[in-house]
Structure 1
Amino acid sequence: MTSLQTLEPAVDDSCCSPSAKPAMSAVEAQQRALVFKALADPNRLRLLSIVKGADGGEACVCDLTEPLDLGQPTVSHHLKILVEAGLLHREKRGTWAYYSLVPGAIERAAGLLATL
């Protein structure tokens, strides 16, 4: 008769020890995801590019519909997402809204992955 041996798993304490570095908080992960989601759309990337290259570093919403060949409500939706992500600043002047890059926002967004 053949005897059956019970195999025990190998234990390597070094692979199972918790990291000394704390994990990213849920709030921080949500904030970073908001920026990544904003940047994940080609139209929003184009809007950032247009605003960045505009004279004086700002652009009126009325000037942003034609280059994208999108309707004003769609462009306004994309701009709202960029503002909520902290990438663009919105200033209302009369009936028009003007958009500019938040100082340092592009650089902060670029550094988000580096600080994981």
Structure 2
Amino acid sequence: MTDPVNFYKCLADDTRLRCLLLITKEQELCVCELTTAINESQPKISRHLAQLKKCGLLTDRRQGQWIYYRLNPELTDWARDVISSTLDSNTSFIATNLKNLNAMGDRPQRVETCCG
């Protein structure tokens, strides 16, 4: 069960919220995709992803040397609803980030280029 106080504390940072919304929108992203999308350093993105994972919002999987992050499938329904509603109602919040991400090319090319 997701603790609401920790859930909202975890989302109270601009970078973490952007990462979470982008991952939710794209279903799965690697660190290199997020660094490009958000235009932040790899250590900063990795630190925020670790916090989101610690909060129970994300899970990860390793493919070679790269780690891919996705929304935790065990996340409670209310938490998923909040995240989905936030994404659906605030598309302008991540519009530039999505533009940066899409500039990398389509998903297979991004994986091949930055993560392969």
How many residues align? The count is 82
Identity of aligned pairs, percent? 38
Q: Distance in 2 between matches of 1:84 and 1:33?
A: 14
More deviation in 72-81 or 33-42?
33-42
Describe how 1:1-116 pairs up with structure 2 within 5 A: 31-54=3-26, 57-103=27-73, 105=75, 107-109=77-79
Moved over 4 A (4+): none
RMSD between aligned alpha carbons? 2.6
1:68-91 Cα distance to aligned partner (Å, 9 max, x none): 111000000000000010100111
Q: In terms of Rg, which structure is larger?
A: 1
Q: Which ranges in structure 2 are unaligned for 5 or more consecutive residues?
A: 82-116
Q: Could you tell me how far 1:32 is from its partner in structure 2?
A: 4.2
* C-alpha distance 62-110 of structure 1, shift in aligned 2 (>3 A): closer
Q: Could you tell me how far 1:67 is from its partner in structure 2?
A: 1.4
Q: Which ranges in structure 1 are unaligned for 5 or more consecutive residues?
A: 1-27, 112-116
Q: Could you tell me how far 1:34 is from its partner in structure 2?
A: 2.9
Q: TM-score, structure 1 length as denominator?
A: 0.60
SS of the equivalent of 2:62 reads strand
- Higher normalized helix content (fraction of residues): 2
